[in-house]
Structure 1
Amino acid sequence: MKVHILHTGKVLIDRALAYKERSPHPAPYTGWLRGKKNKMWVPVSSYLIEHPKGLILVDTGWHEEMRLNQKKHLGNFAYSMYKGELLEGDSIAEQLHSLGVKSKDLDFVILSHMHSDHVSGLKHVQNAKKILTSEIEWNSAQKKLGYIKSMWDNISIDTFKLTDIPYGPYKKGYDLFGDRTLYLVYTPGHSDGMISILVKMKNGWLLLASDVGYSERSWKEMILPGITTNRKAAYHSLKWLKGFSEKKDCVGIVTNHDPEIKSTIIE
């Protein structure tokens, strides 16, 4: 088993989007009417998993259109809240090419959830054999604010129903290969159907925790993300993350936007 951590751009956000804060401002996570001192750059990550039974990409980072016309790609509302950056060579298409991987070689593209910084680059990998997200997340993305549907226009996306698994705050998710080596773990709160990815490595479990927290600080200090659709569920998911980090068979936790986590390969 091999996991490539790929930084597929970065995003400038208000710190309150990463770490929920009490403020007289009604919505500090938007960054509206807040100064530059409150802004922070964080990576936008994707993960390529080389599994004995297939090649799996988790999330897709920014699309190359972000270099040309961010406002058009994100829409006015999202563009007013955050800005992205995607250097040459950093898109998922470019990074897969450098690894000798074509999108049609991907057995699965797993979408942890469908916020823009996780699905923006989806059209770069639309020729993957299967693109998959949770049924709950898919349904939310069709109905709720906070999603940019143009990012998956005309792309075939499959969904999975939650089943009982041994891990997670609700012990719900999906055993991708049915062999207990890679679980899609239901970790809701930041979005209704968000999942984390639990990968069986040689010496234990590696947890790709998406946006359950923004960094190690999140679960050590129990600070929720600034945006939650269900605060109680978000807290429950973060509490599970904290507990899992203390287990002997946890070899690491990787959150999507942690500036301390660098592009690397974990074996």
Structure 2
Amino acid sequence: MEQLIIGDISLTWLNGGVTNLDGGAMFGVVPKPLWSKKYPHNENNQIELRTDPILIKTESKNILIESGIGKNKMSDKLKRNFGVLEESSLEESLSELGLTTGDIDVVLMTHMHFDHACGLTKWENDILVPTFENATIITSAVEWEEMRNPNVRSKATYWKDNWEAIQDRVTTFEAQLEIVEGITIIHTGGHSDGHSIILIESDNERIVHMADIMPTHAHQNVLWVMAYDDYPMTSIKQKQKWMKYGLDKEVWYTFYHDAYYRAIKWSQTGEIIDSITRDRR
């Protein structure tokens, strides 16, 4: 498992499963001759997208970013449609680190789309129960409202199976919320109305987790946003803001979906100056 350490905080990528989604949808109006130079695709024009939660360990908390694709949460048809070739083995990943699901204190949900939220619940004796039995689940108030009351477009991605069993464990916030010293979740909108990013700071080092307004390293260009984005101009505006912030300070950018990079540090001119690649063996 790949790891990034800044100051007193460590990040470890767990195995949350994989999807393979249409490359055109993932890059929106960007022509295929451009995006295909930066991110590989298969014969069906699909690109590999991990759904790997990030475990943040601080001195006092075990915090998870997202929950993975889950296990036994989809029919064979859904797995085929979303290119799910591997389901989550999150509990096994935690076990390798000497942890269990009960050791997770907080789960930060940048948004609640199925590919981020399926892992929040699991089947136990034919009943869906919380996967992280002791955790507080944090997401924006806007996102939580739409999760439970989706519109005609979003109902395909906000699933009752992913929220009903955990609703008494959810804490919401408005603009931003400091989880512990140095870790803050910030509402941005864009990909969804309630979408958030996460800032991590320790010992004068910084990480920006852009979630799905920059799902892969190939989405570095502020204009390269997904067709899946509900509010693409908001995505662009937020990317402009947080890319300028990050490039000026040469921060780490981390990824949940990228099949090739776990984290990248870019220079002010946009060149990669440091990176953590995913072990694809």
In the TM superposition, what whole-angstrom CA distance separates every residue of 1:216-247 from its partner, at most 9, and x where no partner exists?
33132520122112222111122123213312
User: Which residue is 1:211 aligned to?
Assistant: 212
Does the CA contact (< 8 Å) of 1:190 and 1:228 recur in 2? yes
1:19 aligns with 2:24: no
Q: Select which of 164, 169, 181 maps to 1:153.
A: 164
Does the CA contact (< 8 Å) of 1:187 and 1:212 recur in 2? no
Tell me the matched-pair count.
233
Q: TM-score, normalised by structure 2?
A: 0.75
In the TM superposition, what whole-angstrom CA distance separates every residue of 1:24-64 from its partner, at most 9, and x where no partner exists?
xxxxxxxxxxx944211121121100012311011111212
Identity across the alignment (%): 21
1:105 aligns with 2:106: no
Does the CA contact (< 8 Å) of 1:19 and 1:214 recur in 2? no
Q: Which amino acid aligns with 1:2?
A: S
Q: TM-score, normalised by structure 1?
A: 0.78
Partners of 2:221 and 2:15 lie apart in 1 by 24
User: Which residue is 2:89 aligned to?
Assistant: 91
CA RMSD of aligned residues (A): 2.5
- Structure 1 unaligned segments of length 5 or more: list them: 24-34, 163-171
Partners of 1:190 and 1:7 lie apart in 2 by 24
Q: Select which of 127, 135, 139 maps to 2:145.
A: 139
Does the CA contact (< 8 Å) of 2:254 and 2:262 recur in 1? no
Q: Which amino acid aligns with 2:69?
A: W
Q: Select which of 36, 39, 50 maps to 2:46.
A: 39
Distance 1:218 1:200, change over 3 A: same
Q: Which amino acid aligns with 1:133?
A: T
Distance 1:231 1:97, change over 3 A: same
Shift of 1:257: 1.4
The higher relative CO (CA closer than 8 Å, separation ≥ 6) is in 1
Partners of 2:14 and 2:261 lie apart in 1 by 10
User: Which residue is 1:174 aligned to?
Assistant: 177
Does the CA contact (< 8 Å) of 1:64 and 1:86 recur in 2? no
- Structure 2 unaligned segments of length 5 or more: list them: 1-8, 32-41, 123-130, 264-275
